[in-house]
Amino acid sequence: MTEHTAVRRGRVRVGVSGWRYPRWRGDFYPKGLPQRLELAYIAERMDTVELNGSFYSLQRPTSYQRWRTQVPADVVLAVKGSRYITHMLRLREVDQALANFFASGVLALGDQLGPVLWQLPERHELDVEQLTRFLGALPRTTGQALDLARHHDARLDDRAWLEIDDDRPLRHAFEPRALSFVSPVVDDLLREHGVALAVADTAGRWPMFGQVTADFVYVRLHGSTALYASGYTPEELDAWAARIEGWATGASTPDGRPRDVYVYFDNDARGFAPHDAVGLAARTRGPDSGGAPGLG
């Protein structure tokens, strides 16, 4: 490479899944830090956080607004999709539930809204027709999400957020856990819809997919030897950093194009997640393109 040749690189963001964990207090968080300042403390040290309260119940617009104001403008907040859609409806007849989800305040994050993660339960087996319908129902832009949100039901009449700063692309990631999803049919469907197949390290319990199916890569690190509980060794962090660099530079993507990469540590049970995130972030810093325009 000559001195005049610049290496293109996608934006790499590393953070944690959630931040309100008692085990972190007095360890990663300084002793006595008020709980209301924990997200701000995280955001001073990481450039992304995965919001997971949205998985358990519909949040309120005021919550999303508060989270947005608690982090710097360049911090991106990914949002975990509702388990009502993935675990209860099991991707069936989801239009109303999707409308309610996007009306609940997700769009209040504005240009700090990162990818939306849809995680399936372990016993959810592949149904190609069902998956095709679900992927087709996902909004591809914030404008489409707003149009969908306007069809919310009466439960959100007094609490819907129906505004966007601008119409920008909306990214989705998909995390299945059944072996039946190890299929080129799934890969092709996700590529057709531009949805990322999440790379999830689950201590061998569920498949670790590695196919690149979108213009970004979404990684969830749940623990390499004990699910949600084990930390990552320096050697393991080095290996993940090298793999991430391959995606970010295009060296290990099908078309050789750089990808933005989002990484979230979910090995939180014993407090390893934030420490591992800081360690991996230090290994993945470097010149980058700043990410694709409008996508964070």
Give per-residue pLDDT as tens, 142-164: 999 999 999 999 999 999 999 99
Kindly state the tokens that stand for 93: 């007849």
Instruction: Give the total residue count for the chain.
Output: 296
Domain 12-284's class?
Answer: alpha beta
Tokens of residue 200, six digits: 């999830």
**Measured distance CA(209)–CA(98) in Å, rounded:** 26
What's the rounded Cα separation, in Å, for the pair 71 and 270? 25
Helix spans in the chain (H): 38-43, 53-56, 61-69, 83, 95-103, 128-137, 142-149, 184-193, 234-249, 272-284
- Domain ranges in the chain are 12-284
The SS3 of residue 51 is strand
Quickly tell me which residue has 């949100």 as its tokens. Answer: 149
Q: For each of the chain's 296 residues, which pLDDT tens digit applies? A: 334 445 589 999 999 999 999 999 999 999 999 999 999 999 999 999 999 999 999 999 999 999 999 999 999 999 999 999 999 999 999 999 999 999 999 999 999 999 999 999 999 999 999 999 999 999 999 999 999 999 999 999 999 999 999 999 999 999 999 999 999 999 999 999 999 999 999 999 999 999 999 999 999 999 999 999 999 999 999 999 999 999 999 999 999 999 999 999 999 999 999 999 999 999 998 654 344 433 44
**Cβ within 8 Å of residue 274, ≥6 positions away:** 16, 24, 28, 42, 45, 46, 265
- Token pair 């504005």: residue: 110
Query: Most distant CA pair in the chain: distance in Å?
Result: 62
